[in-house]
Amino acid sequence: MDIITGATGLLGNALIRELLNMGRDVKALVRKSSDTTCFNDCEVEKVYGDVLDSESLKKAFHGAEYIFHLASEISILPGQHKRLKEINIIGTDNVIKACFECRVKRLVYTSSIHAYKESKIGTIIDETLPFDPDNRMGEYNRTKARASIAVLEAASQGLDAVIVCPTGIMGPYDFKLSNMGSMFVEYRKGKQKIVVDGAFDFVDARDVAMGHILAAQKGVKGQSYILSGQKVTMEELMLMLKYATGIEVPKYKLPVWIAYPVAILTPIYYRVTGHKPMFTIYSLRTLRSNSFISHKKATEMLGYNPRPIRQTIEESIDWLKNCNLF
């Protein structure tokens, strides 16, 4: 039996479907307030619990083989420190304790590429870099690093645990509309008017899901594996969206020297309008940071093989269209 925390998100939906396709018995840990219509079409059992409720985790994890801990708080806005610490650090600590007590076969923890120490542009980011709890990029990075370190410490104390570190996830089954999904919708509606110079590594959620399964099956206890895809500049991304949608690319390119002052003010706009945050200081720094990321270790040791990101974008657009999200 496999249990997934964070099951209602993009990655959770992809992982549920991959596990079910393999004939696995899957349970989704959800809160009673969670909207679970996203996997109504799947034969997955719902178990109620919360990563901040230790007793609910112990009850849910009883008899489990693999625990896939995906639940995470992600924020690119400032002022979210408390919630990030609660979910990403305390929640992971609770999962670790429940895994110990329930004697699960293996914990697969979903960290992030942002948990690693920053490196100079042009150098290769791989698993030789340490997790950095003092990362200057943002509180999200720091909390994911601290949680990753806690998992490594648990592994040294006897817990069979491995860590996977995805890059920028996109793909079908994006029912909640992630930041990337929201951008695809905006682009398809012709509302994407400006592009900012930068690049990042993007990966298909289905490939990341398979990377989790491979890590559960083949990963070495106490090891971390980067699940990256393909480095894509924002201009290249816009062109891929053009080919997938038939909509012309944005005409205007925002210079970096203007983008930073604008990004300082955008959190006010997002809070007032309620729109999903997309362009902030954090997201801008991410696009301007080093995105030379290697998945060599995962490929050689696990058999991880991500698909071309252009295929992901085309299939994402088709999925969004079929779900009437345009």
**3-state SS class at 164:** strand
Distance from C-alpha of 245 to C-alpha of 29, rounded to nearest angstrom = 36
DSSP annotation of 174: -
* Contact criterion met (CB below 8 Å) for 38 and 175: yes
Mean per-residue pLDDT for 103-128?
95
Q: How confident is the model at residue 232 (pLDDT cuts 50, 70, 90)?
A: very high
CA neighbor of 324 nearest in space, from 132, 200, 175: 175
Of the given ranges (89-93, 172-176, 226-230, 287-291), which has the lowest mean pLDDT? 287-291
Q: How confident is the model at residue 268 (pLDDT cuts 50, 70, 90)?
A: low
User: What type of residue is 91?
Assistant: G
Q: Calculate the average pLDDT of the chain.
A: 92
Q: Please give the DSSP secondary-structure letter assigned to residue 65.
A: S
Q: Please, what sign has the CA dihedral across residues 131, 132, 137, 141?
A: positive
Hey, what are 268's tokens?
Answer: 């006010």
Are the C-beta atoms of 46 and 37 separated by less than 8 Å? no
Burial of 16 (0-12, 13-18, 19+ CB in 10 A): buried
Q: How would residue 7 be classed by pLDDT, with cut points 50, 70 and 90?
A: very high
Collapsing DSSP to helix, strand or coil, 120 comes out as: coil
Contact, 280 vs 137, CB < 8 A?
no
CA–CA distance, 107 with 67 (Å, rounded to integer): 5
Say what the pLDDT of residue 221 is: 98
Element holding 86 (H helix, E strand): none
Question: Residue 293: what pLDDT?
Answer: 97
Is the pLDDT at 248 greater than 90? The verdict is: yes
Q: Is the pLDDT of residue 280 over 80?
A: no
Considering Cα of 271, then 284, then 148, then 47, what sign does the dihedral take? positive
- Is pLDDT above 70 for 277? no
Q: Is the pLDDT of residue 260 over 80?
A: no
pTM of the model: 0.94
pLDDT tens digits for range 129-182: 999 999 988 899 999 999 999 999 999 999 999 999 999 999 999 999 998 999
Q: Report the first-to-last Cα separation within the chain, whole angstroms.
A: 37
Pairing of strands 199-204, 230-233: antiparallel
- Give the angle 107-110-116 at the CA atoms, nearest 5°: 120
* Residue with tokens 């930073």, as numbered in its chain: 260
Name the E strands within 96-160.
106-110
d(CA 243, CA 246) in angstroms, rounded, equals 6
Per-residue pLDDT, 223: 98
pLDDT band of residue 253 (cuts 50, 70, 90) is confident
The DSSP secondary structure of 196-246, one letter per residue, reads: ES-EEEEEEHHHHHHHHHHHHHHPPTT-EEEE--EEEEHHHHHHHHHHHH-
Name, in order, each residue with C-beta under 8 angstroms of 265's C-beta and a sequence gap of 6 or more: none
Residue 97 corresponds to which tokens in the numbers above? 């304790």
Band the pLDDT of 116: cuts 50, 70, 90.
Answer: very high
Greatest Cα-to-Cα distance within the chain, rounded to the nearest angstrom: 57
